[in-house]
Amino acid sequence: MIVLHYTGMEDAESAIERLCDPAWAVSAHYVVLEDGQVIRMVPEDKRARHAGISHWRGISDVNSASIGIEIVNPGHDYGYREFPEAQIEAVIRLVSDIKERHAITRGNIVGHSDVAPARKRDPGELFPWSRLARLRLALPRPTKNLMDPEWTEGGFLLALERFGYEVTERMAAIMAFQRRFRPELIDGEIDGECRAILLALLLPKPQGDD
């Protein structure tokens, strides 16, 4: 897996310092600065502590099965802002390289909020997942031939769990899904559009963005 994060700190220096401080027990394989510079922090064949308590598609120890990329951005607590073009271009190159090297499927390129919905919001609704999706570096947001399956709430949550999310905390799981696949409205409400998007994602070939 590849897990994308934002640093969520006031500046890059503070984030890198924390990632290097054993007292915090956090680490990541890469940090991508706003100017596009990529810093390797941990070798890819070593475990990094970037995901914390997390879950994705049956994997409950995400740190043992993933490469973590920290993208410098102050995050929701310190003035969340759009990611600069140079930074996104660097992320795309890095993700593409890692994906090819480790034969990672695009369904396993996720955000921290996808694997830890109850705790995390990063990389957040401003991250341009559609850019990655057009390059087959992430799943696209389905946009074609959408059909509302009219699932009950329980049916939607079962489908969401089947897709990969931990759904123990209902609202958090729904909002994480929306943040990733319907970022213009993150309200935790299951509506027809959410149901239709999720149904399309469960089909063999999700269509959209491309």
68: three-class secondary structure by DSSP: strand
> Do strands 30-32 and 38-40 pair parallel, antiparallel, or not at all (unpaired)?
antiparallel
| Residue of 17, 44, 70, 82 with catalytic role | 70
Measured CA to CA in angstroms, residue 16 lies from 5, 21, 33, 189 at distances of 13, 9, 10, 37
Task: Specify whether 70 is catalytic.
Answer: yes
Say if CB 29 and CB 42 are below 8 A apart. yes
CA gyration radius, the chain: 16
Structural tokens at position 74 = 């102050």
Cβ of 151: how many Cβ atoms within 10 Å? 17
Using left for φ > 0, alpha for ψ between -120 and 50, and beta otherwise, residue 136 falls in left
Q: Is the peptide bond before 142 cis (omega within 30 degrees of 0)?
A: no
Of 75, 90, 31, the closest CA to residue 179 belongs to 75
Q: What residues are annotated to the active site?
A: 70
